[in-house]
């Protein structure tokens, strides 16, 4: 039994396919610092088990997620909410090879694992607080 897929909608003259243009893309903050890689998306209400009826609007992306999604892709199920990090779609400024945000990464909770490792492990190594000479 073959599935029927509708063509992706055009946005500002380009076709945007969530799987090709969003998933597994690097996200940079407003200072061009790496923030995360997109692991999952949050969409407006839509039932994905059925084709979208003609004449209805396609689902819209409302947020980007990062987290431990590899195990769920292999074994199924869902990543627990406490392990998923969310960035609202309204902060995505530009779509390209990478996704550019309009905010700095400092206020995002996405970076807490890196900050924890920096403060608790790397910061305790002698000489970690100055540049090598």
- Rounded to 5 degrees, φ, ψ at 38 are -70, 120
Q: What is the DSSP string of 17-53?
A: -HHHHTTT-EEE-TTS-EEEE--EEEESS--TTSPPP
Give per-residue pLDDT as tens, 1-35. Answer: 444 445 555 555 566 788 888 998 999 999 998 88
What is the predicted pLDDT for the residue at 120?
Answer: 86
What is the predicted pLDDT for the residue at 65?
Answer: 87
Distance CA 46, CA 35 (A): 28
Q: Domain map of the chain by residue range?
A: 10-124
What is the predicted pLDDT for the residue at 47?
Answer: 66
Give per-residue pLDDT as tens, 81-109. Answer: 666 788 998 899 998 899 999 999 877 77
Task: Kindly tell me the burial class for residue 37, based on how many C-beta atoms sit within 10 Å of its own C-beta (0-12, 13-18, 19 or more).
Answer: middle
Specify the higher pLDDT residue, 60 or 129.
60
Give per-residue pLDDT as tens, 30-82. Answer: 999 888 888 888 888 766 666 777 777 777 888 898 866 666 767 777 766 66
Strand order in the sheet with 99-101: 34-37, 26-28, 99-101, 92-95
What is the predicted pLDDT for the residue at 61?
Answer: 85
Check whether 114 has a pLDDT greater than 50.
yes
Is CATH 2.30.30.240 the right assignment for the domain spanning 10-124? Answer: yes
CB 64 within 8 A of CB 89: yes
């Amino acid at each position: 039994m073959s599935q029927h897929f509708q063509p992706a909608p055009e946005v500002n003259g380009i076709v945007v396919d969530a799987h090709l243009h969003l998933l597994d893309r690097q996200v940079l903050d407003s200072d061009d610092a790496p923030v995360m890689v997109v692991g999952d998306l949050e969409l407006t209400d839509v039932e994905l088990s059925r084709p979208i009826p003609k004449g209805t609007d396609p689902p819209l992306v409302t947020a980007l997620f990062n987290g431990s999604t590899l195990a769920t892709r292999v074994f199924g199920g869902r990543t627990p909410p406490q392990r998923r990090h969310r960035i609202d779609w309204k902060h995505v400024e530009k779509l390209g090879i990478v996704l550019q945000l309009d905010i700095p990464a400092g206020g995002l909770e996405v970076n807490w694992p890196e900050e924890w490792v920096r403060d608790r492990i790397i910061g305790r190594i002698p000489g970690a607080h100055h540049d090598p000479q």
